[in-house]
Amino acid sequence: MKRDHYKVLEVRREAPLEEIQHAYRTLALRYHPDRNPAPEAASLMRAINEAWEVLGDSNRRREYDELLNRPVLHPEFAASILLAARDVLLRGGWRVLEDNPKTLVLENARQKVRVVFLERVDHTALAGLARQFAEFCVVLSLRVEGPVGSSATAIDLLRSECHGASLPERPEGSCRTLFAPFL
**Is 144 a residue whose pLDDT tops 70?**
yes
* Amino acid 147: pLDDT: 67
Summarize pLDDT for 4-57 with one digit per residue, the tens.
899 999 999 999 999 999 999 999 999 999 999 998 989 999 999 999 999 999
pTM: 0.59
* Amino acid 172: pLDDT: 57
Whole-angstrom distance, CA of residue 167 vs CA of residue 174: 8
Beta bridge partners of 19: none
- Confirm if 37 and 44 have CB atoms less than 8 A apart: no
Which CATH number describes the domain made up of 75-182?
Answer: 3.40.1350
Summarize pLDDT for 52-110 with one digit per residue, the tens.
999 999 998 988 887 777 666 677 888 899 999 999 999 999 999 999 888 999 998 88
Cβ atoms within 10 Å, residue 5:
25
Q: Quick one: CATH architecture of 5-69? A: Orthogonal Bundle (1.10)
Cβ atoms within 10 Å, residue 150:
21
* Amino acid 1: pLDDT: 47
- Give the confidence band of 150 by pLDDT, cuts at 50, 70, 90: low
Domain limits, the chain: 5-69, 75-182
Q: Where are the alpha helices (DSSP H) in 100-173?
A: 123-132
Angle between helices 41-55 and 58-69 (to 10 degrees): 100
